[in-house]
Amino acid sequence: MRFESFSFGSIRIDGTTYEHDIVINGGEVRKRKKKDSKKYRDAFGHTPVSVEEEIPWKCRRLVIGTGTRHSCLDE
């Protein structure tokens, strides 16, 4: 899987541009399901990632994009 470019609001992976939040798990890309985190939206001004979401939390590498800054956590 090759991350070709990213900017605020979009990311290009293997020739496909996504303009919504995504989750990659086991090489499969899917749209992020924010429903379980929406209850925190008013407190943060956006929908944050929460432990209640279906995120592969026990992955080897978790990458979270926050606007133009990106964080990468390795286990």
Confidence of residue 44 (pLDDT cuts 50, 70, 90): confident
Residue 75, pLDDT above cutoff 50: no
Confidence of residue 69 (pLDDT cuts 50, 70, 90): very low
In 1-75 the beta strands, taken as DSSP E runs, fall at 3-7, 10-13, 16-18, 22-25, 28-31, 61-66, 69-74
Confidence of residue 16 (pLDDT cuts 50, 70, 90): very high
**Rounded CA Rg of the chain:** 13
Residue 51, pLDDT above cutoff 80: yes
Predicted confidence at residue 8, as pLDDT, reads 79
